[in-house]
Amino acid sequence: MSRYILTIEYDGTPFCGWQRQKDVATAQGRLEDAMLPFLKKKITLFGSGRTDTGVHALGQVAHFDFDGHIDCFRLMECMNAYLLDVPMNVLSLQEAAEGFHARASAIERQYLYKILNRQAKPCLDANRVWHVSPRLDAAAMHRAAQFLVGKHDFSTFRAAGCQAKSPVKTMDQITVTQDGDILAIRVVARSFLYRQVRNIVGSLVLVGRGKWSTQDLLDALGACDRRRAGPTAPACGLYFVGTKYPCAQ
């Protein structure tokens, strides 16, 4: 039995998240269906992280097992031909190193959240940014975000339905930068709670609008109560950037 690894990008707008579900389009389901004509058997993919409905991926990683040799280039080409009608591409496909697991082997995951901060609604970036009209103070958002870096109980930013055993996570990095009308929030950690990034972004926007101070954000974090956080930012602005592994894949 050999293990293979894929890197995939997709626009999450037409998908009901990553995980295969009955009677709805999902990223995992569409990829598994795209493999069937070439491999002639049903394959189960294991992703490095799940994405919600409408969340995009720049470098989603997944693996699968197959009993036999595969021409990786031909399989990738066949999959991409099958995926022409959806905004999804397989960027790479190769045999994985021994012991590799797309989820369990990960030592770092990175997300990007994009905000369009102007009066006019998005046209070219529709469904790919959160449109926030009131002017945001990106510098204030960045300063406040630094207090979330490190090991904390993130219960305040944990959505209902989260299956993580503990709300304690270590945030390695959060940055807020601005380029013209686009604010980019980058978040790096080994793992995340359900909707943690979107809930953090919603709170940081309150800081950026001047409705919250840095102390308000700290008080919300310390409360360990979801009711104390800001609103959940919409899925359309969130991108799963990629996963880091300790050695060659």
The predicted pLDDT at position 49 comes to 84
- pTM for the complete prediction? 0.94
Amino acid at 63: H
206 in Cβ contact with 140 (< 8 Å): no
Using one digit for the tens of pLDDT, what is the confidence trace for 5-20? 999 999 999 999 998 9
> Which residue's structure tokens are 């394959």?
43
Residue linked to tokens 């974090």 = 221
User: Domain residue spans in the chain?
Assistant: 2-95, 108-244
108-244 has which fold? Alpha-Beta Plaits (3.30.70)
Those residues with Cβ within 8 angstroms of residue 248's Cβ, 6 or more apart along the chain or in another chain: 97
pLDDT tens by residue, 121-164 = 999 999 999 999 999 999 999 999 999 999 999 999 998 888 88
The pLDDT of residue 61 is above 60: yes
Q: 82 is written with which tokens?
A: 């099958």
The model's pLDDT over 79-130, given as tens digits with 9 standing for 90+, comes to 999 999 999 999 999 999 888 999 999 999 999 999 999 999 999 999 999 9
pLDDT value for 50: 81
CA pair distance 153, 163, nearest whole angstrom: 15
Which structure tokens are listed for 185? 């929030």
Q: In angstroms, rounded to a whole number, what is the distance separating the alpha carbons of residues 103 and 110?
A: 13
Average pLDDT, the chain: 94
Assess whether pLDDT exceeds 70 at residue 248.
no
What positions carry a catalytic annotation? Answer: 52
Q: Is the pLDDT of residue 229 over 80?
A: yes
pLDDT of residue 130: 98
Give the fold, CATH level 3, of 2-95. Answer: Alpha-Beta Plaits (3.30.70)
Q: Do domains 2-95 and 108-244 have the same CATH topology?
A: yes
Question: 3-class secondary structure for 8-69?
Answer: EEECCCCCCCCCCCCCCCCHHHHHHHHHHHHHCCCCCCEECCCCCCCCEEEEEEEEEEECCC
Tens digit of each residue's pLDDT (9 = 90 or more) over 173-212:
999 999 999 999 999 999 999 999 999 999 999 999 999 9
Q: What is the pLDDT of residue 163?
A: 80
**pLDDT the model gives residue 228:** 93
Q: Give the DSSP letter string of the chain.
A: -EEEEEEEEE--TTSS-SS--TTS--HHHHHHHHHHHHHSS----EESS---TT-EEEEEEEEEEESS---HHHHHHHHHHHTTTTTEEEEEEEEPPTT--TTTT-SEEEEEEEEE-SSSPPSTTTTTSEE--SPP-HHHHHHHHGGG-EEEE-GGGPPTT---S-SEEEEEEEEEEEETTEEEEEEEES---TTHHHHHHHHHHHHHTTSS-HHHHHHHHHHT-GGGS-PPPPGGGEEEEEEE-SS--
Report residue 249's pLDDT band, with 50, 70 and 90 as the boundaries.
low
